[in-house]
């Protein structure tokens, strides 16, 4: 167990990537075609425009076009968006709430999976097992 302040590190980044790759593999085994880190371009009202894309051009970045880059997306009777949230999303909860609102307002089938558990009165955190994360994913898809 670690304090929240010390939990966001290279180790946490590696843990996040490991979970995303495992989820991607799990979704493929279920017959889906997931896309990791694809871009969703947004208009001025935070509505998704066009199809998701693998990359954003430098010109689009310079024009400061708005976009989101969810952890994983796939199509199954509509767009599914999955975010794998580490403890940093608990710390930066306002930005996370804004992100969640954008996806919900776009009628995406939106799933959030947290990679951590809060312990001891929300002062300590612990990593969740991959098995429990995949089980939660299956429950949310069903």
Q: What is the pLDDT of residues 98-137, one digit of tens each?
A: 899 999 999 899 999 988 776 666 656 677 889 999 999 9
27, 138 contact by CB (below 8 A): no
Closest to 106 measured CA to CA, from 67, 62, 57: 67
pTM for the complete prediction? 0.81
The candidate with the shortest Cα–Cα distance to 108, out of 81, 85, 136, is 81
- Give the tens place of pLDDT for each residue, 5-38: 444 577 777 888 999 999 999 999 999 999 999 9
Hey, what domains does the chain have and what are their CATH numbers? 2-141 (3.40.1350)
Distance, CA of 49 to CA of 41 (rounded, Å): 6
């Amino acid at each position: 167990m670690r304090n929240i302040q010390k939990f966001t590190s290279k180790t946490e980044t590696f843990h996040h990537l490991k979970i995303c790759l495992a989820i991607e593999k799990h979704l493929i085994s279920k017959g889906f075609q997931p896309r990791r880190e694809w871009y969703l371009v947004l208009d001025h009202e935070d509505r998704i425009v066009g199809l998701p894309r693998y990359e954003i051009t430098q010109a689009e970045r310079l024009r400061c076009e708005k976009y989101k880059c969810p952890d994983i997306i796939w199509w199954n009777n509509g767009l599914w968006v999955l975010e794998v949230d580490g403890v940093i999303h608990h710390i930066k909860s306002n930005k996370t709430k804004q992100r969640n609102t954008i996806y919900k307002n776009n009628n995406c089938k939106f799933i959030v999976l947290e990679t951590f558990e809060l312990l001891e009165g929300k002062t300590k955190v612990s990593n969740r097992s991959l098995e429990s994360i995949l089980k939660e994913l299956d429950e949310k898809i069903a």
